[in-house]
């Protein structure tokens, strides 16, 4: 939807970011370094949204990546695992390429052990490697390129630095469009990293380009059956924490391991889990008292669920997953597929993917355009020409004129407490109108998706009038007026879309 708004507004001026980049390519035709940079930006505009997964070490980034991709691809381990920034993008043929800092690239053989890729640097020193790029045929990757990063607060500071560098380049366009920040609790270093990301990468608008995920959410509640409920409460509270609000769009709880494991549930796993569920309560409880017991104790009644298989289940689903499955299977008639689906649903992955596709995905156009324009301005500044000033001016004008970007920026400013003079009700409404919670008209207006067109029109007219008043009120301060004008403009586009006015 926002793309349409984008076209409407930018189209009237007859220029798009694409056009500007084309002109820039023409301008720098004789400068290989600059034209190479411009070419990168143009490719970038064509690509799907780049989403980076970031967080402290062992936050479950690789596990979540596998869950999102829907395949056990990224290597995961109990110890610190990912040490190099790794890109996963769509491609027809599987391919692994190591990109070095000096600009050269080296293809590596694609090796998988029990499904997981064996990634190595091909003999290059870790410090020389800029990143590893994995191309993989996966439907999920057509919608977004996912970037796995080494953990922060890792014992090796160097690894931490690599991630910070990947997310917050000192110069140039931000490498990523959006960030999914994984945290287990809101640790001080989490707040610091989120802040660093906001400051350095996407500037003011990162609060709308970042989603926070309470990963390993099942562990927050100690793996109890109600763990995810508890995790949801925690997530909701974090989402209202001013430090988080300023930096992330939302906070979602996800049990990453369960989400990953539910994908790959086999019939034999199902049989074993049902067998466990059917044990007499006392036996079952004793078996489920600790992970150790579950993975080692021999139980005569269990034929399929041997200790070895149980240990495997534990590793793949986590203790919460096992407990949840055994509780679900005590109820009536679930088959293997239904169980897998239910486990996946309860893992919290669904809301995350839908947030990625709606909240971030719908804004992908705006986010990418903004990145491209920022990058272009950087190139223009670095390679000054006579015509460059004019181009820079137009890029700036395009950025200012592109209402989708304005919306992003206002939404972010709101998150950081802008227009504090306005009532909270109004500020909440403004956030919604600017498309923070989804770009569909009903979502912007805060109506049920089933609301009739008339009802939506009425709501939009009323809101439009309200915000015009705010904009015209002589007592409104400058910030409130700016916000109100943006809201009015969003509403105009919305009315146009609804076919009214």
Partner 1 sequence: MDDPVEVIERCAELCRRRERTDLVMRLEAATGRWQSSDVRVLVVGEFKQGKSQLVNALVGAPVCPVHDDIATSVPLTVSYAEQPTAAVLWAAPGAITEEEPRREVVDVAMLAARISLPGQDRVIEDKDGSRLVAAEAGLPRQLLRDGLTLVDTPGLGGPGSAHSAATRAVLPSAHAVLVVTDASQELTGPEVEVIRQALAACPHVALVLTKTDLHGQWRRVQQLNAARLRDAGLKLSQLAVSSQLRLLAARSKDADLNAESGFPELVGFLRRSVVTRREELARRSVRHDLNAVLAALSSSLDSEHRVLSSPEHLPAVVAELALARTRAEELKKRSAKWQQTLNDGVADLNADLDHDLRERIRVVQAEAERIIDEGDPGHAWSEFVAWLEESTASALADTFTWAEQNAEWLLTRVAEHFEEASAETLPQLRLADTTSLGDRIRPMGDLDLNETTLGGKVIIGMKGSYGGVLMFGILTSLAGLALINPISIGAGILLGARAFREDKENRLARRQAEARTLVRKQLDEVVFQSSKVLRDRLRHTQRQVRDHYAATAEDLLRSIGESVASAQGAAKADEKQRITRLAAIATDRTTVIRLRREVDTLGAPTAAAQAAS
Binding status of residue 440 toward partner 1 by CB under 8 A:
no
What is each CA distance from 247 to 64, 171, 373, 416, in whole angstroms?
A: 21, 21, 22, 8
Name the minimum Å distance from CB 153 to partner 1: 5
Q: Which stretch binds partner 1 (CB under 8 A): 237-245, 406-414, 437-445, 448-456?
A: 237-245
Neighbouring residues of 303: CB distance < 8 A, sequence distance ≥ 6: 275
Name the minimum Å distance from CB 222 to partner 1: 6
DSSP SS3 for 144: strand
Q: Which is nearer to partner 1, 88 or 410 (CB)?
A: 410
Neighbouring residues of 112: CB distance < 8 A, sequence distance ≥ 6: 118
Among 314, 355, 356, 388, the residue binding partner 1 under the rule CB under 8 A is 314
Q: Which is nearer to partner 1, 198 or 368 (CB)?
A: 198
Binding status of residue 291 toward partner 1 by CB under 8 A:
yes
Structure token digits, residue 293: 């017991």
Neighbouring residues of 335: CB distance < 8 A, sequence distance ≥ 6: 270
Name the minimum Å distance from CB 480 to partner 1: 13
Residue ranges of alpha helices (H) inside 241-280 are: 242-245, 256-263, 267-277
Q: Are 260 and 66 spatial neighbours (Cβ–Cβ below 8 Å)?
A: yes
Enumerate residues 315-334 that contact partner 1 by CB under 8 A.
Answer: 315, 319
Among 49, 51, 56, 90, the residue binding partner 1 under the rule CB under 8 A is 56
Q: Residue 108 — φ and ψ, nearest 5°?
A: -120, 150
> What does the alpha-carbon distance between residue 259 and residue 265 come to, in Å, rounded to a whole number?
11
Question: Strand 95-100 vs strand 129-136: parallel, antiparallel, or unpaired?
Answer: antiparallel
Name the minimum Å distance from CB 223 to partner 1: 5
DSSP 168: S
CB atoms within 10 A of CB 249: 25
Q: Is 74 left (phi over 0), alpha (psi -120 to 50) or beta?
A: beta
Name the minimum Å distance from CB 387 to partner 1: 32
Residue 64-93 contact track with partner 1, rule CB under 8 A, x = bound: --------------xxx-------------
Name the minimum Å distance from CB 424 to partner 1: 17
Enumerate residues 392-431 that contact partner 1 by CB under 8 A.
Answer: none
Binding status of residue 199 toward partner 1 by CB under 8 A:
yes
Q: Which residues does residue 112 pair with via DSSP β-bridges, in sequence order?
A: 117
Binding status of residue 180 toward partner 1 by CB under 8 A:
no
Q: Which stretch binds partner 1 (CB under 8 A): 112-120, 185-193, 261-269, 480-488?
A: 185-193
Binding status of residue 335 toward partner 1 by CB under 8 A:
no
How many binding residues for partner 1 (CB under 8 A)?
Answer: 46
Among 11, 115, 137, 242, the residue binding partner 1 under the rule CB under 8 A is 242
Binding status of residue 295 toward partner 1 by CB under 8 A:
yes
Q: Give kind and range of the element (H or E) at residue 183.
A: strand 178-183
Among 10, 20, 24, 57, the residue binding partner 1 under the rule CB under 8 A is 57
Residue 205-234 contact track with partner 1, rule CB under 8 A, x = bound: -----------x--xxxxx---x--xx-xx
Among 19, 120, 195, 271, the residue binding partner 1 under the rule CB under 8 A is 195
**Spatial CA neighbour of 221 closest among 345, 342, 319, 322:** 319
Binding status of residue 188 toward partner 1 by CB under 8 A:
yes
Structure token digits, residue 119: 């990634």
DSSP character string of 22-65: HHHHHHTTT-HHHHHHHHHHHHHHHSPEEEEEEEBTTSSHHHHH
What is each CA distance from 86 to 5, 98, 186, 463, in whole angstroms?
A: 34, 9, 25, 45
Q: Which is nearer to partner 1, 135 or 154 (CB)?
A: 154
Binding status of residue 154 toward partner 1 by CB under 8 A:
yes
Task: List residues binding partner 1 (CB under 8 A).
Answer: 56-58, 78-80, 153-155, 157, 184-189, 191-192, 195, 199, 216, 219-223, 227, 230-231, 233-234, 237, 241-243, 289-295, 311, 314-315, 319
């Amino acid at each position: 939807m926002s793309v349409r708004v984008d076209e409407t507004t930018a189209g009237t001026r007859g220029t798009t970011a694409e056009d500007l980049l084309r002109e820039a390519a023409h301008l720098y035709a004789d400068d290989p370094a600059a034209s190479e940079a411009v070419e990168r930006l143009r490719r970038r505009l064509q690509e799907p949204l780049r989403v980076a997964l970031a967080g402290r070490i062992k936050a479950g980034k690789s596990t979540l990546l596998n869950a999102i991709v829907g395949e056990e691809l990224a290597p995961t381990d109990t110890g610190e695992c990912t040490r190099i920034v790794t890109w996963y993008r769509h491609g027809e043929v599987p391919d692994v390429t190591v990109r070095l800092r000096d600009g050269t690239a080296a293809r590596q053989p694609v090796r998988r052990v029990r499904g997981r890729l064996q990634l190595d640097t091909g003999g290059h020193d870790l410090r020389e490697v800029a990143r590893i790029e994995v191309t993989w045929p996966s439907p999920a990757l057509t919608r977004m390129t996912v970037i796995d990063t080494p953990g922060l607060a890792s014992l090796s500071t160097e690894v931490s630095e690599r991630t910070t560098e990947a997310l917050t380049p000192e110069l140039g366009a931000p490498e990523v469009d959006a960030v999914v920040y994984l945290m287990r609790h809101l640790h001080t270093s989490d707040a610091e990293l989120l802040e660093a990301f906001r400051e350095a990468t996407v500037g003011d608008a990162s609060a709308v380009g970042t989603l926070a995920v309470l990963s390993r959410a099942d562990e927050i509640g100690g793996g109890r059956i109600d763990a995810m409920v508890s995790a949801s409460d925690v997530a909701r509270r974090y989402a209202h924490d001013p430090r988080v609000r300023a930096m992330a769009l939302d906070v979602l709880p996800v049990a990453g391991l369960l989400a990953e494991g539910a994908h790959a549930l086999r019939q034999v796993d199902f049989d074993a889990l049902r067998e466990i569920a059917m044990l007499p309560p006392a036996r079952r409880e004793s078996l489920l008292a600790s992970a150790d017991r579950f993975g080692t104790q021999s139980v005569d009644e269990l034929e399929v669920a041997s200790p070895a298989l149980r240990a495997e289940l534990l590793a793949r689903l986590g203790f919460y997953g096992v407990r949840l499955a055994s509780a679900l299977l005590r109820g009536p008639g679930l088959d293997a597929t239904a169980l897998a689906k239910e486990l996946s649903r309860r893992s919290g992955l669904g809301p995350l993917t839908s947030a990625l596709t709606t909240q971030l995905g719908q804004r992908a156009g705006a986010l990418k355009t903004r990145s491209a324009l920022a990058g272009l301005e950087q190139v223009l500044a670095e390679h000054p020409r006579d015509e460059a000033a004019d181009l820079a001016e137009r890029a700036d004008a395009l950025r200012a004129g592109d209402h989708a970007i304005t919306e992003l920026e206002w939404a972010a400013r709101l998150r950081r407490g802008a227009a504090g003079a306005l009532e909270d009700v109004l500020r909440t409404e403004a956030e919604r109108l600017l498309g923070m919670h989804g770009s569909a008209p009903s979502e912007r207006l805060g109506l049920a998706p089933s609301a009739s067109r008339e009802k939506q029109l009425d709501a939009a007219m009323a809101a439009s009038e309200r915000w015009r008043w705010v904009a015209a009120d002589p007592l409104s301060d400058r910030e409130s007026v700016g916000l109100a004008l943006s809201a009015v403009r969003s509403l105009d586009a919305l009315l146009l879309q609804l076919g009214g006015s």
